[in-house]
A and B are shown apart, each in its own frame.
Chain A
C-alpha cells in the first residue's frame, strides 16, 4: 500500500500544492499532475488503483500515466514523504 506519512501540512494556491514536512522543515511544491497523485495518496492506496484513479483525472495513455506516477512516487520516497509501507511498494 502507498500512503503519505503524518506531520505534513498542506496549502493550495492557484494550481500549486505547497507541503510543509514538519519533521524535516522542508517545503515542497507540486504542480497540477503531482498534486493529484499526492492527494490520491492521502489515504492508503494500491499502485494499480492509483493508476486507475489518476486516469480518471487525466485521460492519457496508461503507460505514460504509469511512468508519471512512478516518477512522482520516487520523488515522494526520496524526500521521505511516504509512510513506511509506502516506501516499499510501487
Chain B
C-alpha cells in the first residue's frame, strides 16, 4: 500500500527541510488542507512512498513516473525544483518573475533582480522587520486573477556567509543536498497568503564601497516595465490580460530602483514602502 499525496502547485510548505519527519508531516498537512489558492490548478505532482521499502519515494506528474528517491529529503528537494521548472516551462497561466516577495497587510513588495542582487538577504532583513514571506526567489502572478501565488521554502543562501549566517546555515550536503538553507533565528517566517495585493516594485542595484548610502529612485513606467520583463522567467507565457495588469500597476509611485551597499539600511528604506497607504 502506498501513501499517496496529491500536491498542488505553490501550495506546499517547504519550511521544514531541516527535519525530514516534520517536513513529511507538513506536506501531509498541506495536502490535507487542499489549496486555498483561487486558481484551481488541475495538474498535480504526486509523491508516493514505496510499500516494500518505506525509506524510498517516487515522484509522479499527472500519473507519469518521474524519478525515484532514496530518502524524503531528496524527494522534497526535487519536488521544489520540479514545481518551479514546471511552472516556468509549461503554461499554467502564470507569469513568473525573478523576484523575492515580502508582504505586509495588503501591500506586497517585490524585490526584483538577477542572481547575486541581494534578493534573499534583503528578504531575511525584511522578515526580521515584520514582513511575511511569499518567496525568496520566484514570484508568480496568476494571469487571470492577478493574484500573487507563494513559493514557500526556507531562505536559500549562497556562500560566502557572514558569521551570523554561518551559525544558522543548514548545509543540505548531510542529506544529499548541495545547497544551503538559513534556519530561522526564532520562529519560522510567517507566510504570505495567495491573493490580490497592492504591488510595489523595487529593482535592486547593489553597489560597491563607493555607494555611501542607500537610495530609492522612482522609475518611469517605460523603465520599470523594461526591467521587470527582463526579469521574467517565462516571457512567452504572459498574456494580454497579464500585460495590461502589469502596465497599470506600474508608475513612479510604486516602482523604484534601490542602490545600496548595506543590507540593514536598504531594508529600512524598503520597510517604509510597506507602511505607506
Contact = CB atoms under 8 A, between A and B. Distances in A.
Contacts of B248: 11, 13
Contact of B239 (A9, A13, A29): A9
Nearest to A28: B222
| Chain B interface bracket (under 10, 10 to 19, 20 to 34, 35 or more) | 10 to 19
Given A22-B235, A25-B229, A25-B235, A11 B222 contact: no
SS class of chain A's interface: helix, strand, loop or mixed? strand
Chain B interface secondary structure, helix, strand, loop or mixed?
A: helix
Interface string B210-237: 0000000000011001100110000110
Contacts of A83: none
Contacts of B238: 9, 20, 22
B236 A18 contact: no
A55 interface: no
A42 interface: no
A20 B243 contact: yes
A20 B229 contact: yes
Nearest to A20: B243
A11 B241 CA distance: 9
A28 to B, nearest CB: 9
B222 A27 contact: yes
B240 interface: yes
B243 A11 contact: yes
A20 B225 CA distance: 9
Contacts of A26: 226
B226 A9 contact: no
A10 interface: yes
B179 to A, nearest CB: 29
Contacts of A22: 235-236, 238
B59 to A, nearest CB: 32
Given A10-B244, A22-B238, 15 more contacts: A9-B238, A9-B240, A10-B243, A11-B246, A11-B247, A18-B221, A18-B222, A18-B225, A18-B243, A20-B235, A20-B238, A20-B243, A22-B235, A25-B229, A25-B235
11 contacts: A9-B238, A9-B239, A9-B240, A9-B243, A10-B240, A11-B248, A13-B247, A18-B243, A22-B235, A22-B236, A27-B225
Interface of A: 9-11, 13, 16, 18, 20, 22, 25-27, 29
Q: Which 3 A-B pairs have the closest CB atoms?
A: A11-B247, A9-B243, A11-B244
